[in-house]
Amino acid sequence: MLLMFEDQHKEHLSFLTQVSPDVVKEFCRISMEFIRKGTNPKIFQGAAQKLNVDVDTVHHGVEGLMYLLTESSKLMLNEIDFQDSIMTLGFDEDTRQTLLEIYLQNRREIRTILSEMTMDLPHYHNLEWRFDVQLASRSLRRQTTPTVLFKLHTEDSGVKDTTILQTDPVNLLHLTKVLDEALQEMKSPYCRRIVRNIK
Amino acid sequence: MELPQSMQDALTLAGESIHIPDAQFPSFVEVAFRGVINSNERNAIENLKEFTSKDPAAVKEAYAGLVAMVIEAAKQDTDIESLSSLLEDCKFPPERIKEVSETYQKNKPALQILLGSVGRTPAHIVDVDWRLDYYVKNNHMEKVNEAVYLITLKTELPSLKELQEVQFSCSQEQLQDLVGKLKDACKCLERISQG
């Protein structure tokens, strides 16, 4: 699978074809910082002065790089596809090598950052359990009822929530058995075949 | 077993044949017990047509005393001796004591189950449903390729008839963690029940 670039993108990145690989590395570093923390226009000024070009050119160059890196990470391009995609941009050998290295080093991190934007369901975080015996209540004295108390911690896009639940020994065994079966299901031949074939 | 004085006086009325004739006493006792256990039979006493007592207020008070005794006895897990001695204090004739004791013995388990279920508890898990999905991609990322479980815990609350649900998702590792913790709890349970 190859990345397709629009003419505008190619134009923005064309600036980088004229500079040395060290400058490209520096631009890549700036792009990664921006991907992590958001853009900071003041940096463009400094860089533009040093390189003796327009602020806009620097701006577009960095944005073009950010787009290249995020799209490649999003599609999880392998090495060959990445190299083929940037072939058309007119970079020289060293620059292409540099870009490839930066891509491979950072793509995990970029994917983690992208995943923060995706929708999240309330997911399991932790389970605390405790075994109690109920001895009495206001309406009945002299009981011996075994109870298991749970505190289920869930998290939804960073917001943590706890739910207090209880169960009795019979239901605890049933719960464990059913969830264990669910876990084993992932190891069944059917599921393994599906996982192998969806790539 | 102790009852407040007003209830004890009311109970004494139930032992007197002026207010509750001997012939009607067994069904009187039966209706009292059934009224406590079954919420739709709470007013069954109204249907007892054989009461020809001249003092309906006394019958009402006697019924109140009997019901109070039934609930208090079950609550305190009273044995037959204490119950009999209380009824003797209330001047019940021996046949009536025997009648009440027998009905109490028969109904005690049901009464205690009913009393035990009164009160607030956290949601009680009774069942669990699960679903396994394969997460392929989303609108920000492709090739996610992860297994995701959606777990639904069905819970019961004492005041509500329908089951409530607690839903959450799990990755494979998280489910592994959850099942591991549940297995620990089961082992702890086994050890306690054996030791």
Q: Which residue has the tokens 């297994």?
A: B147
- Binning pLDDT at 50, 70 and 90, where does residue B121 land? confident
Is A2 contained in some domain?
Answer: no
Residue A170 and residue A74 share a domain: no
Domain finish residue from A117, A132, A159:
A117
Tally of domains in chain A: 2
CA atoms within 13 A on the CB side of B122: 15
Q: What is the pLDDT of residues A121-175, one digit of tens each?
A: 999 999 999 999 999 988 888 888 899 999 999 999 889 999 999 999 999 999 9
Task: Please give the average per-residue pLDDT across B157-181, as a whole number.
Answer: 92
Domain finish residue from A57, A86, A117:
A117
Residue A93 and residue A59 share a domain: yes
Window A:159-198, CB contacts with B under 8 Å: 163-169, 171-176, 178-180, 182-183, 185-186, 191, 194-195, 198
Q: Is B192 on the interface with A (CB under 8 A)?
A: yes
pTM of the model: 0.78
Residue A175 and residue A137 share a domain: yes
Residue A143 and residue A62 share a domain: no
Please check the confidence at residue B51 and state whether its pLDDT lies above 80.
no
Q: Is the ipTM of this complex over 0.85?
A: no
Q: Is B57 on the interface with A (CB under 8 A)?
A: no
Task: Please give the average per-residue pLDDT across B16-20, as a whole number.
Answer: 80
Contact between chains at B143 and A75 (C-beta distance less than 8 A): yes
Residue A157 and residue A73 share a domain: no
Structural domain range at position A190 = 123-198
Is A132 contained in some domain?
Answer: yes
The amino acid sitting at B22 is D
Is A130 contained in some domain?
Answer: yes
Residue A20 and residue A93 share a domain: yes
Q: How many CB atoms lie within 10 A of CB A47?
A: 20
Is A178 contained in some domain?
Answer: yes
To the nearest whole angstrom, how far is the Cα of B193 from the nearest Cα of chain A? 10
Phi/psi region, residue A157 (left: phi>0; alpha: psi -120 to 50; beta: rest), is left
Of A122, A126, A171, the CB nearest to B125: A171
Residue A148 and residue A113 share a domain: no
Residue A131 and residue A64 share a domain: no
Domain finish residue from A99, A117, A135:
A117
- Binning pLDDT at 50, 70 and 90, where does residue B44 land? confident
Report how far residue A182's alpha carbon sits from residue B149's, in angstroms, rounded to the nearest whole number. 8
